[in-house]
Amino acid sequence: MRNVSIVGMGTTEFGVLDAGVKDLGVRAVSRALRSCDVNRADVDALYLGNFVAGILEGQENIAPLVADSVGLTGIPTMKTEGACASSGIALRQAYQAVATGVHDVVVVAGVESMTNAETTEFTRALNSAADTQTEGKTGLTFPGFYGLWLDRYMHEHGATREEVAAIPVKNRANGATNPRARFRDPIAIDDVVESRLVADPLRLYDCCPAADGGAALVITASDRAREFTDTPLSVLGSGHASGRSGAYRYEDLTTLDATVTAANDAYAQAGISPTDLDVVELHDCFSAAEIGDSEDLGLFEKGEGARAAAEGVTAVDGDVPINPSGGLLSKGHPVGATGIGQVYEACLQLLGEHENQVDGAELALTHNLGGSGAVCTVTVLGRDA
Amino acid sequence: MPAFPATECADCGELYGFPVVACRDCGCESFETRELDGSGIVYARTTIRVPGADHQGQEPFEVCVVDLADDIRITARVLDNPELGPDDSVQFVEARDGVFFFEAA
Ligand SMILES: [Zn+2]
């Protein structure tokens, strides 16, 4: 296996962009190609993650469409789909192709356009990530899944609503200074606990907003990385696991085992432990998700995640900075673009160029989760190998 | 008290709450219905106030994860009881269109 480096990156802002999935994909990929010294003739393949363009826009076959529009006609392309982890999977597949020597230079993208959709179409599309035969029929939504999660978590671990609310407050404060975030206004604990109930005990401000967006990377074998940039970053570990197909399938609903498995694989490959990490971008689609993810990733003991956020441990200047980008709660969740968007934010941290810079960040982790914990990718990133 | 219609693998005896087409353990594709005591314990509960496209107008409604006898765990509806929570007792009422409905016991 060869070492793999990131040599280029590009993104749109995440928000209400009034653009379709093809245009957002083209913008992100073009920006990634322009960010480094890669000629189009160097690119061997394009992997693109997307979730709902087929349902919402009637637009499938997106990977070759984007490739043709950015001057990459002729190369092999493919779309990956794993709900909210769609582009995390794209990165994983591209990583494997480069690591095994199948390809030398691969463009990886994630893209989604959601805010133009009618509400009923939008919710139908998102709910398609759950098992429609069991939980879909029952009427469980994704906020509902995390409502169940949080109900059980508070019952078992005694976390308070106010402790949980510290997470959206932190992430909105971080998002306020991220020009790529959809929400850039800070909120207070009272705003969260007084906002309207969506899926008890989850409230409106516990939930991430939809967004449109695209993000892309150029990756290559590490021994070729300096042909394309003076500041390559290393993919030190990559994990990808599947998990349970519904809330009823978990023995312990508060542990989403796909995250544990993917993280352990990524840690082992990188030769690190969770305490070595300097900065983490994890899948905070809901406040409850950030609590669970932080524990499943091994950053905190079970039951300590909410308290850690309330005590400031996960702030940008805390011991375990989580989502200094503002996370999904601030950036928004353009589903298929989220995983690469997280990697983009982590790369800025490792380059020392982030608006909410963690001092001296050398080792970063990104965590992308899809469905009811049904699929997860974890990536460990470092400065140049 | 209605019994709960669990699905039992005809080959290895593995039990399922939701119907399945192939046994997760042995791959057998034949099943029999086995009636379980319809009393259950709530594992977790939420109240859906913003429903999906297929449940518009039904809100608010309760969705629970419920534990039945023989380690069967299912996602189910509980009729009009937002006060229910973990460890509370519920009773199976009926299965309708593939959805299991319970009420407070
Ligand atoms: Zn069997």
Is A265 within 8 Å of chain B by CB? Answer: no
The residues facing A26 across adjacent strands are none
B29 CB neighbour count, 10 Å cutoff: 12
Residues of A forming the active site: 84, 333
Q: Which of B65, B79, B81 to mutate to test the interface with A (most CBs of A within 10 A)?
A: B65
The residues facing A365 across adjacent strands are A280, A380
**CA–CA gap between residue A44 and residue A26 (Å, rounded):** 17
Is A134 within 8 Å of chain B by CB? Answer: yes
What is the per-residue pLDDT across A173-222, written as a single tens digit (0 to 9) for each? 999 999 999 999 999 999 999 999 999 999 999 999 999 999 999 999 99
Is A202 within 8 Å of chain B by CB? Answer: yes
Amino acid identity for residue B20 in this structure: V
Query: What are the C-alpha distances in Å from B105 to residues A61, A168, A344, B92?
Result: 52, 37, 51, 9
Determine the pLDDT at residue A385.
57
Query: What are the C-alpha distances in Å from A171 to residues A205, A251, A308, A376?
Result: 11, 30, 14, 21
Chain A residue numbers with beta carbons less than 8 Å from the beta carbon of B76 are: 138
Q: What is the pTM of this model?
A: 0.98
The residues facing A239 across adjacent strands are A378
A58 phi/psi in degrees, rounded to 5: 65, 25
Is A253 within 8 Å of chain B by CB? Answer: yes
Determine the pLDDT at residue A34.
98
Q: Do B86 and A198 touch (CB under 8 A)?
A: no
Q: Do B47 and A138 touch (CB under 8 A)?
A: no
Q: Measure CB to CB from residue B77 to each of A139, A197, A200 and give the nearest one.
A: A139
Determine the pLDDT at residue B75.
98
* ∠ Cα B89 B93 B97 (to 5°): 125
Instruction: Please count the residue pairs, one from chain A and one from chain B, whose beta carbons lie less than 8 angstroms apart.
Output: 105
Amino acid identity for residue A204 in this structure: L
Distance from CA of B12 to the nearest CA of A (A): 20
pLDDT string in tens for chain A (385-residue length):
999 999 999 999 999 999 999 999 999 999 999 999 999 999 999 999 999 999 999 999 999 999 999 999 999 999 999 999 999 999 999 999 999 999 999 999 999 999 999 988 998 999 999 999 999 999 999 999 999 999 999 999 999 999 999 999 999 999 999 999 999 999 999 999 999 999 999 999 999 999 999 999 999 999 999 999 999 999 999 999 999 999 999 999 999 999 999 999 999 999 999 999 999 999 999 999 999 999 999 999 999 999 999 999 999 999 999 999 999 999 999 999 999 999 999 999 999 999 999 999 999 999 999 999 999 999 999 997 5
